[in-house]
A and B are shown apart, each in its own frame.
Chain A
């Protein structure tokens, strides 16, 4: 320090360099100290999720509870925007060898992920030691979580695409049961449903049903695939061979959707935001959306009702997907971190009641059987959706947030907007499917 008492430029530089060296050294030492989280003496477990909004807040809350129950673990949750980029980031982090310890994934993406060596299977014994066993899950969901005979995903929930309703409008339209909620039999069958939609439109003075399909590829696909399954449609998606759909069944689905999006039953040219806006401002009586929208709708109307998808066609079916925890493959496996990760994930599953308040149906059945869950409305009203859940077709390119859903929606928008006949959507979808099937599986 100079005689002036101030800090000369040289002193400052020297101090900065020493400081930087200290930080670097500290960082290096902290690196040696893993598995403990730097400085805190805790093992850090990072979990990536794709939950925005209310879902994200609940996941944080659950992680907080798990962290307090495990004082030796630092749980770090990172929320990334959902959609195709989420899976790109996860794949890149895994292939780069430095992924988070655990991540949330749609089970529908498992077929494209597990074979590529991006994930590691769960150790069933380690899970059992934490009280997580096969008998705690619905067989269909447990089965969907398997790949190559091993458990690759730990299911957190089932999240179906369901029908929300406004009890007041439904009652005025004469569609309510004795309990004042939507009577599913009053909206069963295509003609009945359209009639019910017109009745609700009479009440609102605008349209009866909210469904936004514009600029919402996932919504388009969920609606189509659910109804197509209701109509008994099968599929064959075998790489290298042309795609096969029941074209008649698919065409009937689009004929129904065109009849629904007629400007009276449902608005003609609507996107997801507009559809939600109309439903929440009591301008429609019924809304097709994912159950994850429940907190948002309850915010606008605490009495909002919800049921599984109405039986428009003959076979009971309800489109659904499932959030599950997966273990991205680590470049340098760390047994201590792995052990802590199992504890965190088991803890999160057991916090399923909190998760259920967001509208999701917990996959961990002991939660569903708790009296507290049975008292949750309207959750318990649409819980039967899980029993008739249909997932995405099994192929490496399908699933939530996939390019496949975007291309399928692209193929159907002209038809939905009434600019092309019902058949056109089916033809276009088949040609897009053929394109995917002709591509090599990158995994």
Chain B
């Protein structure tokens, strides 16, 4: 790690080195250079200001306003905003739809996250270990990530179309019966997860590829000289070196999957029989289709609290690792 500021505060009776004297090493950046730091602070604040203002206006204020709304019976139609205490939260905890859609969200997260990490790793390893025509692979693995959810949903909707869809037509060609890709309660979530993996795996693939390229070649050379084969190098060098990026990908992926909404809304609108409705769609339905903004805010805050707890739990061990 670089120089830590923590140890540089002057102990009583000892002056800090004067930065103007040539001391042979760079002066530690400390609070001792008070004036210039304050000046630097000023320009720093200026640089940060636009982002801070935007964050305040479009993130913090709405977030706080949402928190306030969760304690009211605010309606989208603008009528009836009364403070009702924890009534919305009480309703949320006893609402089976909240638990059902929360489970759907978790189920989607499990179904999508595991392949999104594993497949990305395998793809990156294949490309990195020297498949010919690397740029073609890189492009084709990453290209779907550039599509919008509307395009992806449109494409897959035709693929999964019951009765006349491509997949069912191919299955029929093989003498197999049709599958309710998006219409069978037991299948729909798998289909959506598969589409999501195809669509978004490219980003994780790029992260893995970058990490792979960052592993020093000398390590492999040394291992090879010591007689390590390909598998040995994979398990003893590559995978351990990829551990930090895997943790990053895992956390980012979990958060992204928990936020799932658009592809599900466009493909199944939460059906069949609510089997694919994620909690964010329930929030949307409650707030925007049924106009109950107060209750929708309360459900969002319950979900927000769960993600926060999850993120904090995840952060604790990563501090130790650092």
Contact = CB atoms under 8 A, between A and B. Distances in A.
Given A88-B289, A414-B185, A271 B161 contact: yes
Interface stretch (B28-36, B70-78, B120-128, B214-222): B70-78
B264 to A, nearest CB: 12
Contacts of B97: 435
5 contacts: A88-B289, A217-B269, A411-B273, A440-B292, A442-B76
Interface string B62-94: 000000000001011111100000000000000
Given A274-B163, A277-B164, A402 B183 contact: no
B79 A443 contact: yes
A442 B75 contact: yes
Nearest to A95: B78
A413 B272 contact: yes
Given A95-B78, A116-B78, A406-B269, 8 more contacts: A84-B289, A88-B288, A271-B161, A274-B161, A278-B164, A413-B272, A417-B184, A442-B291
B77 A443 contact: yes
A88 B183 contact: no
A269 interface: yes
Contact of A406 (B182, B270, B293): B270
A406 B73 CA distance: 24
A199 B177 CA distance: 25
A92 B76 contact: yes
A410 B78 contact: no
A282 to B, nearest CB: 15
Given A116-B79, A413-B271, A442-B80, A214 B183 contact: yes
B109 interface: no
Size class of the contact patch on chain B: 20 to 34
A36 interface: no
A269 B77 contact: no
Contacts of B272: 214, 410, 413-414, 417
A87 interface: yes
A271 B164 CA distance: 9
B290 A215 contact: no
Interface in A41-84: 84
Contacts of B161: 271, 273-274
B270 to A, nearest CB: 7
A91 interface: yes
B274 interface: yes
Nearest to B267: A215
Main secondary structure of the interface of A (DSSP, over half): helix
A277 B73 CA distance: 46
A217 B273 CA distance: 11
B144 interface: no
A271 B178 CA distance: 13
B283 to A, nearest CB: 12
B180 interface: yes
Nearest to A440: B73
A270 interface: yes
A120 interface: no
A280 interface: no
A311 interface: no
A409 interface: yes
Interface in A374-411: 397, 402-403, 406-407, 409-411
B227 to A, nearest CB: 59
A95 B76 contact: yes
A363 interface: no
B290 A271 contact: no
Contacts of B78: 95, 116-117
Cβ-closest 9 pairs across A and B: A95-B78, A116-B77, A442-B75, A442-B291, A403-B289, A88-B288, A269-B162, A274-B163, A84-B289
Interface string A245-284: 0000000000000000000000101110110011000000
A85 B265 CA distance: 12
A91 B185 CA distance: 33
A206 to B, nearest CB: 11
B253 interface: no
Contacts of A428: 273
B75 A215 contact: no
A403 B76 contact: no
Contacts of A40: none
A91 B163 contact: no
A439 interface: yes
A87 B289 CA distance: 7
Interface string B149-189: 00000000000011110000000000000101011110000
B180 A417 contact: yes
Nearest to B271: A410
Contact of B271 (A117, A217, A274): A217
B271 A267 contact: no
B285 interface: yes
Given A270-B162, A417-B180, A435-B97, A117 B269 contact: no
A118 B291 CA distance: 12
